[in-house]
Structure 1
Amino acid sequence: MDRTERFYKIDQLIGERKLVTFAELKDALEVSPATLKRDIQYLRDRLNCPLIWDREAGGYRYESGAAHTGSQFELPGLWFNASEIHALLTMQHLMANLDKGGLLSPHIQPLMARLNVLLGTADNTAEEVRKRVRIIGAAARRMQLSHFETVGSALLRRKRLMITYHARGTDEVTEREVSPQRLVFYRENWYLDAWCHLRKGLRNFSIDAIQKADVLVKSARDVSEKTTDEVLGAGYGIFAGSKVQWAKLCFTPERARWVAHEQWHPRQKGTLEGDGSYLLEIPYADDRELMMDILKYGPDVEVVGPLSLRKRVQDLLLQATQRYA
Structure 2
Amino acid sequence: MSKTERLHQLSKTLRQRRRVTLAELMQTLQVSRATLMRDLDWLRVELGHPIHWDHEARCYVWRESELAGEQPEEMAGLWLRPSEVLALVTLDQLLRDIQPGDLLRGHLQPLENRLTKMLKQSGLDRSAQSLLGRRVRVIGLWQRRVPPQCFETVGLALTQRLRLRIHYQARGSGQSSERSVSPQRLIHYRSNWLLDAWCHERDELRSFSLDNISQPQIEDTPAIDLPEDELDQTLGNGYGIFSGKEVQWATLRFSPERARWVAAEQWHPAQKGEWDSEGHWLLQIPYIDDRELVMDILRHTPEVEVLAPAALRERVLQRMRDGVARWGVS
Q: Given the two structures, how large is their TM-score scaled by the length of structure 2?
A: 0.76
Contact kept? 1:271, 1:280, Cα under 8 Å: yes
Q: State the alpha-carbon separation in 1 of the partners of residues 3 and 204 from structure 2.
A: 49
2-side partners of 1:184 and 1:119: how far apart?
A: 30
Q: How does 1:1-325 map to 2 (within 5 A)?
A: 10=5, 13-14=8-9, 17=12, 54-57=25-28, 63=37, 65-67=40-42, 78-80=82-84, 86-87=90-91, 89-94=93-98, 97-100=99-102, 106-118=106-118, 121-122=122-123, 125-325=128-328
Per-residue Cα deviation, 1:9-58 (whole angstroms, up to 9, x for no partner): 537735863679xxxxxxxxxxxxxxxxxxxxxxxxxxxxxxx9934446
What secondary structure is seen at the aligned counterpart in 2 of 1:178?
strand
Contact 1:191 1:205 in 2 (8 A): yes
Relative to the length of structure 1, the TM-score reads 0.77
CA distance in 1 between counterparts of 2:24 and 2:240 reads 57
CA change 1:109–1:88 in 2 (3 A) is: closer
Distance apart, 1:248 and its partner CA: 0.7
Alpha-carbon distance between aligned partners in 2 of 1:207 and 1:285, rounded to the nearest angstrom: 22
Q: Which amino acid aligns with 1:98?
A: P
| Residue-pair matches, total | 282
Please list the CA deviations of residues 260-295 of structure 1 after superposition, one character each: whole Å capped at 9, or x if unmatched.
111111111110111111001111112121111111
Cα 1:303/1:12, change in 2 over 3 Å = farther
- Give the aligned residue type for 1:66: D
Q: In structure 1, how many angstroms separate the alpha carbons of the residues matched to 2:89 and 2:160? A: 32
> Which one is further off, 297-306 or 52-61?
52-61
What SS class does the counterpart of residue 188 from structure 2 fall into?
A: strand
Q: 1:266 to 1:76 in 2, by over 3 A?
A: closer
| 2:113 aligned partner, one-letter code | A
Tell me the amino acid that sits aligned with residue 122 of structure 1: G
CA distance in 2, matches of 1:267, 1:82: 31
Name stretches of at least 5 consecutive residues in structure 1 with no aligned partner: 1-5, 21-51
Q: Please say if residues 182 and 223 of structure 2, whose CA atoms lie closer than 8 Å, have aligned partners that are also in contact.
A: yes
Residue 89 of structure 2 contacts residue 133 of structure 2 at CA under 8 Å; is this kept in 1? no
Q: Which amino acid aligns with 2:5?
A: I
> CA separation in 2, counterparts of 1:277 and 1:53?
71
Shift of 1:144: 1.2
Q: State which structure, 1 or 2, has the greater radius of gyration over its C-alpha atoms.
A: 2
The whole-number CA distance in structure 2 between the counterparts of 1:76 and 1:15 is 19
8 Å CA contact retained: 2:92, 2:112: no
- Is the CA contact (8 Å cut-off) linking 1:77 and 1:122 kept in structure 2? no
